[in-house]
Structure formats: structure tokens, C-alpha cells
Amino acid sequence: MINIPTWDSSGKELKSIALNEDLFGAPMNQALVHQVAVSRMANARQGTASTKTRGMVSGGGAKPWRQKHTGRARQGSNRAPHWRGGGVVFGPHPRDFSQKIPKKMNTGAIRCILSQKVRDNKIVVVDDIQVENAKTKEMHKVLSNLKIETPTLIVTEQSRPEVIKSSKNIRRVRTLPAKQLNALDLLNHDKLLITVDAVRLAEKLWSDMVNTNADLKE
């Protein structure tokens, strides 16, 4: 059983809670985490960069000068790639960079990262995040009380406007509801600040699939 202390917004330590070992006690699989992270970055690419080849550039229909007896190199078009205003060789064209990752792999990567953060003491569990006035200074105070200074991912059970507004101007701090927890955001942030309700929701969302994977392996 994995026990971890909980805190309140003032930095006071409360009782410990037990974490689901299926979700927070998994071994690290670096290859899996890397593949899932790369796929999420690829899916974020727009793929709209485009250039014109020599066949797409307007002009260049007439031969710049005659073939022989000019003392210059022979040229067939002033829209060739080595000419100013000419086409681009091997330039980018619109394409789809997206990669499909099975849900089980995505879940497995989240398990690996969450488990590693537990082992590294990078998870801070709070009973609730109190920022009633949705001001940046209130979130700064909460982070200071919890002694958090590194890039932090704040996860709540549901999307909470006051938490989002109070943290959006803080550098290297991002907020997410538990349902949108993903491997890339977990990797990009050193600390994970998560509420107790969000922990329980995460366990409910992904533990069943984890148990199914274990049954398949047997």
C-alpha cells in the first residue's frame, strides 16, 4: 500500500491517504513514455507549412537568353530554384503529422509517470485549493505555503474557473481537470499539485483498464 500525506492550502499537513498501487505503483517503461510523448507532440503540429516549386511560381515562361554565344551559363527559366524569386527545392508541403496511440498505451504512460513522481516525491496532494477571489497573488500564496517553486501542473477534479484565472499569469504553471491528464504535461512539469478528489477520479478512470491489462498478461 502506498501512503502519501495531504496538505491544506495554508501548508498544514493533514492525514495521509492510500493511493491505488495499480495507478501509482507501476514500474517505469521509458520506451512507452517516449513513444506516447512523441505522438502527442506530433498530434499538436498543424502541418500547414507550404512552399512553391518551380512549377507553381508565376512567370519564367521565356528563356532568359539564347543558348549559346553569350558567355553566360545556359538557362531555361528564371524561375529555377537558384534564381531569385524561383521555386523552392524539397520545401515543406501540407501533410498530416498525427500518430494514433492505443488507449492502453496512453494509460500505461500516465501510470509510469505518476508512479515515478510518487517515488521522487514530486506529488503534492491537497484537500482543496482555496482561491476564492481568483487573484494571482492568492495562487502565489498557496504555492509558497506548499513550498513549490518548480514548474507545476495543477490538477483538479473538474475545471475550476477561479483556479485557472488565478494561475494563468504564473510562469511555468498549468491547470488541468483530471480527465485531461496526459503524459506530455506530466513530463513538462516537475511537480504535480493535485486535489484528493482528482486523485480518486484518476483512480476511477484508469484503474479498471489497468486491471484488464493485467488479466490479459496472465
In angstroms, what CA-CA distances link 150 with 97, 109, 147, 169, 218? 32, 22, 9, 15, 40
Give the C-alpha separation, 9 to 138, whole Å.
Answer: 10
Nearest to 205 by CA among 26, 29, 9, 20: 20
What are the sequence ranges of the domains in the chain? Answer: 2-28+102-217
Give the C-alpha separation, 29 to 200, whole Å.
Answer: 24
**What value does the mean pLDDT take over residues 84-103?**
95
pLDDT tens figures, 157-202: 999 999 999 999 999 999 999 999 999 999 999 999 999 999 999 9
DSSP 102: -
The answer to whether 116 and 102 are in contact (CB under 8 A) is no
Tell me, what's the pLDDT at 208? 56
42, 43, 45, 51 alpha-carbon torsion, rounded to 10°: 80
pLDDT tens figures, 30-59: 999 999 999 999 999 999 999 999 999 999
Fold of 2-28+102-217: Ribosomal Protein L4; Chain: A; (3.40.1370)
* pTM of the predicted structure, to 2 decimals: 0.83
